[in-house]
Structure 1
């Protein structure tokens, strides 16, 4: 599949998501699956929520039950890779400092770094993949619930910069990144005026990349479909047969939407935001206009 997925957390998610999806699509119960592999229903549940990886034999039996024996070799390869290696963010994973990398954010970081397309809507701030270190630091300071030490702030900023390298500078073919950003987010006073101007200048440079597209939703657009909040839509390699997922982040957890009806709702929201926002070719002039007015 081109550049092979490297992050075990993402690989494990694809395995348990596929096993659950196929079982539900074929109309089998967990009891049916348990009988096929001579195991308990609890074991099948563990496989489907990611608490435990299946053995190669159990995986083969389940895929045969679900009518896709031709996928056995592919997913056994994923299983083998899921059992070795480590996620790119592991060096930031300190047991004593979950504030830098909370457990609920790890899955998203792994999946984002494997996505072939990253789309989304940003209502309040420039998205993390596009932030400069100075802008990121200003946001970390402003959004922190607790007082942070200088080292804690630096670790969070370092994680964000590493995330950008893993996604935007990925070896092989980088993902298509398409974001709609509200004009108010571009005008947000983050740090001082030099920080804000530096961030907008960085956005202009990112637009030179063929895989990066930004649209601006002007304040004059008035009411829009993005009032419910910012989100990211991740799409994955076609050979995974994964419909993708939507991620929304809060102060206490990540929310993931992956049911067909949920994905269709968010796809409609994105389509409307694309239509309401200024066309991509007008983004550079809009950024320069905001820079002059800051």
Structure 2
């Protein structure tokens, strides 16, 4: 049986993987798929792909594009979630910040450099016509627990994270959300180490076929809204809103979309150069 290590964030976007694993669908095809949660997000997964700790990752588009350009020996094989990620912009509930414009020149909490929370702070700054050199400052907090501590203790002033996963902290009165910043592209892709692609093409195709079948039927799974609400400690109405806004993909990201991602990252000085589509994408 072929062992394959895959990483992802422990969020509702990835529930399809858990369901397919629970049903034994990969084992039925002689694949021992091992899921690893990465609470540190995209930066941590990029590092794990580089080191060979994992073979595959369900990872934020902007983060892996940046890391491949910077030498990560991986390729994007498919879009996983077609719709944008809605990043909530959060401040400590007791803070004096009332609007996004109040955050100009303050310090953003980020999980790590190169993470989604880091890169989207630039997108938010661009959207609000801030000076990217003078108005952006960062504090590394590693994960959501670190953000709670960082904002509460005043080490950082605001934190960008997926709106629905963070909402329980807003409901509890730990954070206040003062705005949203949707990613200007499909949010999650599946990235695979080149070495794994070269040596395991059949297994890779099988894995993608299984997860694509699961995600194409995901919304029609009986009581899926209740399952998500219970598993991720979400309010049912929030889960239903999230489901209505989220579309999974079973397709390869097209050249125009990849070009848009690169154009924006290059404009923001997040990547040093733009590369050919074939440097970033592998079609299984």
User: TM > 0.5 between the two?
Assistant: no
Flag the structure with higher strand content.
2
Length-normalised TM-score, structure 2: 0.29
Flag the structure with higher helix content.
1
User: Larger C-alpha radius of gyration, 1 or 2?
Assistant: 1
Ranked by relative contact order (alpha carbons within 8 Å, sequence separation 6 or more), the top structure is 2
